[in-house]
Amino acid sequence: MINEKVIIAESLTKNFGDFVAVDQISFEVAKGEIFGFLGANGAGKTTAMRMLCGLSTPSSGKANVAGFDLFKETEKIKKSIGYMSQKFSLYEDLTIRENIQFYGGIYGLSKKNIQEKSAYLVEHLHLQNYQNNLVKSLPLGWKQKLAFSVAIVHDPAIVFLDEPTGGVDPVTRREFWELIYDASARGITVFVTTHYMDEAEYCNRVSIMVDGRIEALDTPKELKKIYESVSMGEVFLKLARKAVRGE
């Protein structure tokens, strides 16, 4: 598992004019790993993630995502990743089934494959009785679980989650993480940014960004040892206090 790297970033940098949003970050993520990406607001984690997804072109550096070069093979990368943004990413005026069909469709899945996938997803999420309901009628927690399942409907190598559990109660968050573990067990690499420190504990490895740089990167256990803390929350505070940049 350690051998196969699905994300390799080397000195990846993004400037907006004079402002260095992401400052030469380098890291590697292994296949099937759950990689947590932490940082205060404005630390540059969303920008870093957007670069890896091909939404934003890096100013300099090198990166390889899912075995493809970030600069030259963006189109191939797009086929092998899934993405769930912090804004809600399903269509509210479409039914559950129509949403699944749409996302399956734009990733070019066959009709039969989409049929099977939707049947499986609906059953897996216990949504059988609601599959023809409009998404806007569902509670937020259900929507987010559905959004995640839809983001991996095409079995991508990596799924990028940008603060996926904002505004959800702890019980639903726990259920959401069970979905993440499922995906990871199936070999899908999970790259997740979060504000919740309990979620940071669930990750295999965690990187903490401060002022555009990666200040620390290790397993939660090691990080707590290095920074002599009892929780990831404490680790985070110790590091984030050093930040010069405000929000």
Partner 1 sequence: MKQFFAFVKKEFFHIWRDKRTLFILLGMPITQIIIFGFALTNEVKNTKMAILDFSKDASSSQLIQKMSVSKYFDATTVLANYLEVEPLFKKGKIKMVMVIPQQFANDLQHGNQAHIQLICDGSDPNVANTLSTYATVIIKDFQNEIIKEQKLPYRIETDIRMLYNPELKGAYSFVPGVMALILMLTSAMMTSIAIVKEKEMGTMEIILVSPLKSFGVVIAKAVPYMLLSMVNVATILLLSVYVLEVPIRGSLLLLLSEGLLFTITSLALGLLISSVTDSQQVAMLISLMGLFLPTTVLSGYMFPIENMPLPLQIMSNLVPAKWFYFIVKTIMIKGLGIQHVWKETLILVGMTVVLFGISIKKFKTRLS
Query: The sheet that has 5-16: what strands, in order across it?
Result: 19-30, 5-16, 60-65, 68-69
Judged by CB under 8 A, does residue 19 bind partner 1? no
Between 183 and 206, name the residue whose CB sits nearer to partner 1: 183
Judged by CB under 8 A, does residue 88 bind partner 1? yes
107-145: burial string, b at 16+ Cβ within 10 Å, e else: bebeeeebeebbeebbeebebeebbeeebeebeebbbbb
From candidates 13, 15, 20, 91, binder to partner 1 by CB under 8 A = 91
Between 46 and 216, name the residue whose CB sits nearer to partner 1: 46
- Nearest Cα to 54, choosing from 81, 34, 22, 20? 81
Judged by CB under 8 A, does residue 105 bind partner 1? yes
Helix (H, G, I), strand (E, B) or coil at 88: coil
Between 189 and 232, name the residue whose CB sits nearer to partner 1: 189
Judged by CB under 8 A, does residue 167 bind partner 1? no
Report, in Å, the least distance between residue 63 CB and partner 1: 15
Judged by CB under 8 A, does residue 94 bind partner 1? yes
Between 8 and 94, name the residue whose CB sits nearer to partner 1: 94
Query: Considering only residues 33-72, where is the footprint of partner 1 by CB under 8 A?
Result: 53-57
Alpha helices in the chain (DSSP H): 45-53, 74-80, 96-106, 111-124, 140-151, 170-185, 197-202, 220-226, 232-240
Report, in Å, the least distance between residue 103 CB and partner 1: 8
Size of the site for partner 1 (CB under 8 A): 33
From candidates 8, 15, 23, 79, binder to partner 1 by CB under 8 A = 79
- What is the number of other CB atoms lying within 10 angstroms of the CB of residue 51? 25
Judged by CB under 8 A, does residue 213 bind partner 1? no
Between 107 and 227, name the residue whose CB sits nearer to partner 1: 107
Name the burial class of residue 35, with classes exposed (0-12), middle (13-18) and buried (19+) by CB atoms within 10 angstroms of its CB: buried
Q: Give the footprint of partner 1 on this chain (CB under 8 A).
A: 53-57, 75, 78-79, 81, 83-94, 98, 101-108, 134, 151, 160
